[in-house]
Chains A and B, each alone.
Chain A
């Protein structure tokens, strides 16, 4: 189920790219920039929560303060 996150992230990247291309062709470069940033933030949010899980597991196993 965790491998699915990889596909989701790749799909988010491709969809954001397509939306950016369409918006660029339509002459709305400003909205395209915003869409790109929002997509990146969503992907980073997923990754950061996963990194948090990993750090929590390491802290639990090694009894770090």
Chain B
């Protein structure tokens, strides 16, 4: 079962880090990061099926395709930023991780601006209908 492989990878990473940290702390960081990457590579297949399901549902609801694309982009950016921030925290530079998260938020906001604009246009049209 896949879950047991994931748990085993995490435990093996922890044990390897403990063994190596005594002798070479710099290698312990490398092993930690590689363990994190292996765990995330396990999750890629599940993420793909989830995204496919979201796509099918969105196609049924008839939401505009560009909006869905922006939504998926935002999820991807959040995923990458979270991954980078956790690695930076592991390396002991929490301030850099904070900055990466901040910049990621700004990028997400700038990408989602077209949706905000579309909503404002919609509100304007509704107001012109009412008045």
A30 at the A/B interface (Cβ < 8 Å)?
A: no
Q: Interface size for chain B: under 10, 10 to 19, 20 to 34, or 35 or more residues?
A: 35 or more
CB distance from A48 to the nearest CB of B (A): 9
Chain B positions within 8 Å of A38 at CB level: none
Chain A positions within 8 Å of B27 at CB level: 9, 12-13, 16, 39-40, 43
CB distance from B103 to the nearest CB of A (A): 15
Given contacts A6-B12, A43-B27, A51-B37, contact A62 B51 (CB under 8 A): yes
Among B9, B19, B41, which residue has its beta carbon within 8 angstroms of that of A10?
B19
Please report which residues of chain B, range 32-63, place their CB below 8 angstroms from some CB of chain A when the two chains form the complex. 33-35, 37-38, 40-41, 44, 47-48, 51
Nearest residue, chain A, Cβ from B45: A57
Chain A positions within 8 Å of B76 at CB level: 58-59, 61-64
B16 at the A/B interface (Cβ < 8 Å)?
A: yes
CB distance from A19 to the nearest CB of B (A): 12
| Sample of 8 A–B contacts (CB below 8 Å) | A2-B9, A5-B34, A10-B19, A13-B20, A13-B23, A17-B23, A40-B26, A63-B76
